[in-house]
Amino acid sequence: MGTDGGDEQMQEPANCEERIFVSVRLRPLNGKEIARHDVSDWECINDNTIIYRNSLSVSERSLYPTAYTFDRDFSSDCPNQQVYEAGAKEVALSVVSACVFAYGQTSSGKTYTMTRITEYAMTYIYDYSQRHKEREFILKFSALDIYNESVRDLLSADSTPLRLLDDPEGTVVEKLTEETLQTGVILKSLYLCVKVRKCLNKFPFNSIMTVYLSMSRCILATQRQIGETSLNETSSRY
């Protein structure tokens, strides 16, 4: 797990507007692709634009768009910390409800990326609470898996699907385990437990982890959700 040890402030929202930040990360070629002498069809040409290097003829190419623009893109050799810093940190640390979500086809790197982003975000949130002893924090952690329209608690040995209930505050997952974190070691242990349970359950990693951060003198309660989904029905990993 990494932390930058910096002392940034949690981002206060300028107003209540909703913001969506869309970024793209290219996956490096895997062993099989390299053995086949495949070449990547996609290339980042700057921080915001990727191009499709298709095999169409020059005349055909003009029929199809080849450049796509996003808030940010990351090349296949971009380190995880940079992806977190530039693509997720601001969202993860905002003091309003925030969600970091990965979308892509199977084997595109959702689990790889989200696992690292989650670790960076959790470490930062915990370290931030430790650096600001003048404020009182309550950190709560829960993790759930959504698969085939069933919701399961990843912090519970009971894999019975949980019910979703409507609440004036939003949708609530009934009986979802919520652990209050006393130390960073417990945070890391809980996260490890989630990863192990996912392997045991053999679910694709379509999970949502939520870290609640309440500041008792600060009125605001923060909810961060980190999740991913696959475009395909089945995961490549099972």
Ligand X SMILES: Nc1ncnc2c1ncn2[C@@H]1O[C@H](COP(=O)(O)OP(=O)(O)OP(=O)(O)O)[C@@H](O)[C@H]1O
Binding residues for ATP: 104-111
Q: Among 204, 211, 222, 226, which residue sits at the site for ligand X (rule: CB under 6 A)?
A: 204
Nearer CB in complex with ligand X: 204/227: 204
Q: Among 42, 70, 112, 212, which residue sits at the site for ligand X (rule: CB under 6 A)?
A: 112
Nearer CB in complex with ligand X: 128/227: 227
CB under 8 A, 24+ apart: contacts of 163-170: none
**Nearest approach, Cβ of residue 154 and ligand X (Å):** 15
**Nearest approach, Cβ of residue 146 and ligand X (Å):** 13
**Nearest approach, Cβ of residue 105 and ligand X (Å):** 7
The residue with tokens 């029905």 is: 233
Q: Among 2, 30, 40, 199, which residue sits at the site for ligand X (rule: CB under 6 A)?
A: 30
Q: Which residues, including other chains, have CB under 8 Å from residue 2's CB and lie 6 or more apart?
A: 81, 84, 119, 120, 123
Q: Which residues, including other chains, have CB under 8 Å from residue 185's CB and lie 6 or more apart?
A: none
- CA dist 82 and 114 (Å) reads 13
Alpha-carbon distance values, 73 to 25, 191, 222 (Å): 6, 28, 27
Q: Which residues bind ligand X (CB under 6 A)?
A: 27-28, 30, 104, 106-112, 204-205, 230, 235-237
